[in-house]
Structure 1
Amino acid sequence: MADRATMERIWEAHTAGEFVAQDVEATMDDDPIVVHVPTAMGGSGYDGVKDFYARWFIGRNPDDFTVRSISRTVGDDSLVDEMIVSFTHDIEVPWVLPGLAPTGQQVRIPVIAVVDFRGPRVRSERIYWDQTAVLARRRSC
Structure 2
Amino acid sequence: MNDQHESGAEPMDRQEFLQNLWEEHMRHEFATHNTEDTLATMVDDAYVNHIPVLTGGVGKEALREFYSKRFIPQMPPDTEVTPVSRTIGTDQLVDEMIFKFTHTMRMDWMLPGVAPTGRRVEIPLVAIVRFRENKLAHEHIYWDQASVLVQLGLLDPNNLPVAGIETARKVLDNSLPCNALMERARSLNPV
TM (norm. structure 2) is: 0.70
- Equivalent residue number for residue 64 of structure 1: 78
1:114 aligns with 2:125: no
CA distance in 2, matches of 1:46, 1:10: 17
Q: Which has the higher contact order (CA 8 A, sep 6+)?
A: 1
Q: Which residues of 2 match residues 46-57 of structure 1 at below 5 A?
A: 46-57=60-71
State the 4+ residue runs in structure 1 displaced beyond 6 angstroms.
none
Partner of 2:111: 97
| Per-residue deviation, residues 7-35 of structure 1 (Å, max 9, x unmatched) | 00000000001111122022111111100
Q: Does 1:87 align with 2:101?
A: yes
3-state SS, counterpart of residue 128 of structure 1 = strand
Q: Is contact 2:119–2:151 with CA below 8 Å preserved after alignment? A: no
Partner of 1:40: 54
The separation in 2 between residues aligned to 1:119 and 1:21, in whole angstroms, is: 24
**C-alpha contact 2:42 2:137 (8 A) present in aligned 1:** yes
1:75 aligns with 2:104: no
What secondary structure sits across from 2:150 in the alignment?
Answer: helix
Query: Contact between 2:55 and 2:110, CA under 8 Å: does it hold in 1?
Result: no
70-79 or 21-30, which deviates more: 21-30
- Structure with larger Rg: 2
Q: Give the length in aligned residue pairs.
A: 141
Structure 1 residue ranges without an equivalent (≥5): none
TM-score w.r.t. structure 1 length?
0.94
**Structure with greater strand share of residues:** 1
The structure with the largest helix share of the pair is 2
Identity, in percent, stands at: 43
Structure 2: where are the runs of 5+ without partners? 5-13, 157-191
Per-residue deviation at 1:140? 5.5
Whether 2:16 is the aligned partner of 1:5: answer yes
Partner SS state of residue 58, structure 1: helix
Deviation digits for residues 28-50 of structure 1 (CA, Å, limit 9, x no counterpart): 11111100010100110111111
Aligned AA (2:25): H
Deviations 1:61-103 (A, max 9, x none): 1110111111000012000000111011111111112211111
